[in-house]
Every structure is written in C-alpha cells, then in structure tokens.
Structure 1
Amino acid sequence: MSCSGCTLIQPIENQGIVRIKPLNKSLMNSLLEQGLGAEIIAECTVVPYNKKEEILDLLHFLRILPKKDRTDMEFSIKGLGEHTMYSPWIPVIQMEAKVENQSVVDIIRLEKFASHMQPIVDTNEQIMGFEFLLRPEQGDHSFQPYQLFEVARETGLHSFLDRAAQITAIKTSALWVPNGFKRFINFLPSTIYNPCLSDTFETIDRLNLDPKDFVFEVVETENVEHIPQLLRIFDLYREKGISVALDDVGSGYSTVELMSDLKPDYVKIDRSLIDHCDQDLMKQREITRITEAAFQFKGQVLAEGIERYEDFQFCKDAGINLAQGYLFGKPSERPPLAIVM
C-alpha cells in the first residue's frame, strides 16, 4: 500500500510561484487591482512571490472571497530553483495552517524528533516491554507532542508524521530493546484510510526484528468512524504476526463498546480511571467493567498512568496483569541498563 500523505514534504522556498484553482475571475481582478503580478495559465490563477510572508498575505487576501469559493480552492507552490516542481494541490485552509506554523511544519518535515521508551511491567514488576513516545531530538527546540500532531492534522501532514514516528520507534527499538520484549507503538485512526503499512512491515523485516514483539495501538484522540476499515487494518497487522491494542479505554472516544467491537489483543485503561482508584468506588466499578469485558474476548489488560503503589495493588487484585506509569519509570532515551545488557 502507499499513500500520498506519506510522501516527502517539499519545503516552502523564499521565492517562487503560487498556483490557485479553480480559476476565479473575481479573485483575478482583485489581485490585479492590488498591483500583484497575477496571470491565468492552464485555467489557474498564477501569482509570483518574493518572500514567504507574501504567501501568507495572499492567503489573508483570499478571505474576502465568499466562504464557498474559499472552501473549494486549492494551492500548489513551486520554488524558483532549476529542478523544483510544483507541490501537490492542497486546500487553502491547510495551506494557511502550513504557512502560519512553519517552524512546527519544519520539525515534521525534517523529522527532528526521537522515540523515548517507558517501561511496561507485569504483576511481579518485571519489565515485559516498552511504549515508544515521541519527543524532541536532543539539543533541538522543545515541542509538545500533542502540538505536533495538532499542526499535522491542520496541515494534512498527519499521515506523514504518523508514519515517520512509527519508523523512528521501530529503529530505536532495534538499537536498544532485546528480542522477546514487547514494543508498543501508537498509530492514529485517521491514517488507516490511506495507510503506509508496507513501510512499517519492511522496516521490521529489514532490521531482522520479530513481528511478534510489536504491538500497534490506536490512540483515542480521534473518533473511529469506520470500524470495519479499522478491523481490516487489525487483520493486516495480525497476518504479519503483530498484535494490536486500544489505548486510553474509558476516556474520550475509547469506550467499552468500541473495545468490544474491535476486540484488540491489549486493552489499555486510561490514567484518569487509574489515578487513586483504590479510593474511588465509581472508578473501581468502571475498571472492573472494562476488565471483565476484555476477558470476554481474551484481551490482555494494561493499567496506564500508575504513580502510586496502592493503585497498582488494586489493579492486580482486579485481575489486571500489566501496568505502566511513573511508579515503574519515566520515558527515557534508553531502557534500564539491565535490559540492554
């Protein structure tokens, strides 16, 4: 499989040409009245720019158009370099977000991020695997992972970022995690409609890693609108020997009903339910409900966000056999020395 959202992102050069489609004569006349060097080429409005700020000025200028006209408009950009080509067409709204968040887009485009590992333990507090979490590269400008994914969604780069983050996690695991330890890696529901799973599988094969060591987990930040399609993606992972998980169950879109429909191999209970669960009867009932529902399809249950031993003890007593949280270790660039050795 392949997807246009996973292809290389072209940088915006300091000088170049903007194409706008469909052709809008009202826009063309307005641009000419402003003294801009616009012309019509191949049923597109073509406007040169001499610095990046002029692209944003042009985008702001487009806001005078009726909303319907703006919604239908798409942008394509080409630098003035000898071998540069026009970028793929993208909606005007995505182009606005891309220009306004250029520094964050550059982090995504240049893949200036790393994977940190947080341990996952069994009931005996022995490490059985790690979750791989996106973090800034050492020495680079700081960012919040949620900010990176939010900008990626606004600019249409979420598939590119999701794929790049997965590949980074797989490569990091090959460097530091011995065979036999599970590697939990996130993927976004929105990327399942144009997935680049072949890159994921090829990277695992190329690095001589065991697919059975991998668990790909759906994060709950987005609503899953097409469950049959997600189930087909689950089947593709499982055909390769890879397990699947549903993250943050009990919060947001990750409901017990969704979990029961998807029947993941691993069920991760959200930290909001785990925090001080030893003291909260309502949380205890919900944790028990999730755990019993998961046991119906033989899903393994993992408690997230454990910071207190009392919470860990309640989860063990409830039949939960896996746990993750600061009580057992924060995300770090390297796993514990004993694991590496």
Structure 2
Amino acid sequence: MNCSGCSPIYPIEGQGTLYLRPISPALLEALQTPGRLIETSDDMMWMDFSNLETVQNLIKEIGEIDPTLRDSLTVQIMPIYEQANEESWISLTMQESRFKHAELVSIILEHQFSSHMQPIVDASEQIIGYEFLLRPAENGKSFSSYELFEVARETGLHSFLDRLARITAIETSALFLPHGVKRFVNFLPSSIYNPEYCLTHTFEAIERLSLDPKDFVFEVVETEQIQHMPILQQIFEVYRSRGMSVALDDVGAGYSTIELMNRLEPDFVKIDRSLIDRCDQDSTKQEKILHIVEMSSRFGGQVLAEGIERMEEFEFCRSIGIELAQGYYFGKPSAQPPDGSYSNTSSNSWNN
C-alpha cells in the first residue's frame, strides 16, 4: 500500500523526465516545437529534459499557454530512468510553488533541520518530559518553523515534512533521554490519510531504537483546523493501541475548542498560552482555565499550562490543581537537555 503523502519524493537535479496528465490536445499541439520530442500514451504525455533550467522553463511555458490548466493538469518530474507512478502526481500549481520556494523545499527534501527540546515540569518543578520542536540544523540554513510548514503545505510536502519531523524527534529523544522521560511529539492530522499505514514509519522508528511507547505523547499541533473528526479519532485510537498517549494543544483558543476537547478526550490537555499570560491578574482568564480543568477531570485528562513566563502564573496554575507546566520560565527549547535533569526521574510517580 502507498499514498501521495508517503511515496518517495525526488529532488530535481540533472537529467530527467517531465510527465503530464491528462492529455490536452491543445497543449500538446502548442508544445510541439522544432527539436522538442514529446511522447504520449493513452493517459499521459512526457518529455525529457537535460537540466533544471529547462524543466523550469517548460513548467512556466505550460502555465502561460493555458492558465486554466493549473486547476486540472497534474505533473511528475522524475530522475532519468525512473518511470512515472500512481502516487507522485501533483498539481501544476504545486510544482510552480516548488520552484518558487526552491530554498525551503531543499531544506525539506534534504532533511536540513533538527529537533530541539523544551522542558515540561511537574508541580515541584522537576522535569518529567520535553516537547520536541523543529529548528534549523546546526550550521544549516535559517528558517522559521511556521514558514517551513506553510511552504510544505503549499507545495504538497506537508505529509513528507510532518513524517520526517516526527522521526527526527524520536531519534533525538533516543540520543539524550533515558527511559521514563515523556517525549511530546507534534503531528498534523491532515498529513495522515490512513492512520494504520501512515503512522507505520513512526512506530518502526520507536521499535528500531528500542524505545518505550509509553514514553511518547503525540499532540495535535497549533493552527491545525480539525475538519474530519472521525479521522482524528481514528488517529488517536491507533496511537493508543500501540501504548502511546495523545494530547490536544492550544485548548481555549483557535480551533482547539473545549467542545473538541470533550469529544476527543485526550490524555493531556495543553492550555493555550494566551490564557496563561498574566492569568494571575485576570479573573476572566481564571474562570476559563478553571472550566478547562473541571472538564478535563471528567475524562481523566492531565492538564498542562503552556507559555509560563512568570512565577505568579505558575503559582496560580498550581493552586487550582494543574499538575504540569511548560514555558520560558522553566527553559527555552535547546539542542540538548540541561545537565542533571533526571535525578528524580526513576522515582517519579507521575510516569507510573
């Protein structure tokens, strides 16, 4: 089994072949210029190219011949001797975007990023886990994570990037964290078409590195609009069936509403930083936070306060029973955990 999000993606370099479908008689006629060989089959046409500039010009030419083709024409650009397949077709618009954002696309395809970790603490300020966050590779090209994922979405690479980011987080956790330390790893629901298949790479990485599935918490990331609730519920079920936990991010703001929390019943409920900011001074925020805590207790969800930057915020959250916290007050994301982070880990009852 394969799908468009899990199929191999080839960088464009040197010689190759541009495939187009469906066949457009008008486009075929327009492209038939002296010296250009175009071959066809029942459902596609293709032409070879000798360098990157040539195929870029071809894509531009096709878009200019008939702009309406951007909505219907799909393309594949394959290395020389590689044949077109059923999974790798993308729209003409996506291919144009890949050329437009070539530098960021190369960062994605060449895996030029790393995973930094931000500490998560319990009520006694002991580090019990980390959230893993995408960052530029050491000595690599600079980028913002938000921009990289937006370009990935625009170019049809978001499933590819999301999968690589998860595996990078898992591999990084294996380098630095002992068993028993929680690892919060983000995922995009829209990148997972078939949970049983698309998450195989994630489960294989955990098994390959001899890690404990119980140490992993997979969380729905911020700004990810939930459009297909049954699919997300199925994703949660698949993670849990493998012994892992699930979390809902940014509860109380944006798309992660309290209603969504009640329907999904995540193992961890992460309260949005906009509610936590100055919560010790704002009675309206306090009421909203208390409501989330009360609702979470009904299904046994552990509540985590995000964005803690002041002791007063932490003290308020702790006073109303919030057990976990995360924010710059406890530590910024870094390539490695601080020394001496795990002196009490083995006896921490939270992980039992």
Q: In structure 2, what is the equivalent of residue 318 of structure 1?
A: 320
- Would you say the 8 A contact 2:127–2:342 is kept in 1? no
Q: In structure 1, what is the equivalent of residue 186 of structure 2?
A: 186
Do the aligned partners of residues 303 and 340 (structure 1) sit closer, same or farther apart at CA in structure 2, a change above 3 Å counting? Answer: closer
- Would you say the 8 A contact 1:120–1:130 is kept in 2? yes
TM-superposed deviation, 1:70: 2.5
Is 1:92–2:88 an aligned residue pair? no
User: Where do 5+ consecutive residues of structure 2 fail to align?
Assistant: 344-352
TM-superposed deviation, 1:8: 2.8
**RMSD, matched Cα:** 2.0
- Mapped partners of 1:202, 1:29: distance in 2: 48
User: Where do 5+ consecutive residues of structure 1 fail to align?
Assistant: none
Q: How many residues align?
A: 338
| Aligned-partner SS, 1:138 | coil
Within-5 A mapping of 1:5-20: 5-20=5-20
- Would you say the 8 A contact 1:2–1:198 is kept in 2? no
The letter of the residue matching 1:172 is T
Do the aligned partners of residues 148 and 238 (structure 1) sit closer, same or farther apart at CA in structure 2, a change above 3 Å counting? Answer: same
TM-superposed deviation, 1:16: 2.8
Is 1:222–2:224 an aligned residue pair? yes
- Percent identity (aligned): 53
- Would you say the 8 A contact 1:2–1:194 is kept in 2? no
Within-5 A mapping of 1:20-59: 20-32=20-32, 37=36, 39-43=38-42, 44-59=44-59
- Mapped partners of 2:35, 2:144: distance in 1: 39
Q: In structure 1, what is the equivalent of residue 278 of structure 2?
A: 276
Is 1:73–2:86 an aligned residue pair? no
The letter of the residue matching 1:208 is S
- Mapped partners of 2:187, 2:148: distance in 1: 14
- Would you say the 8 A contact 2:10–2:78 is kept in 1? no
Within-5 A mapping of 1:1-341: 3-32=3-32, 37=36, 39-43=38-42, 44-64=44-64, 68-80=68-80, 83-86=81-84, 88-195=88-195, 196-339=198-341
- Would you say the 8 A contact 2:192–2:199 is kept in 1? no
Deviations 1:257-279 (A, max 9, x none): 11111000000011111111112
With normalisation by structure 1, the TM-score equals 0.92
TM-superposed deviation, 1:340: 6.3
| Aligned-partner SS, 1:337 | coil
| Aligned-partner SS, 1:5 | coil
Do the aligned partners of residues 61 and 282 (structure 1) sit closer, same or farther apart at CA in structure 2, a change above 3 Å counting? Answer: farther
- Would you say the 8 A contact 1:176–1:340 is kept in 2? no
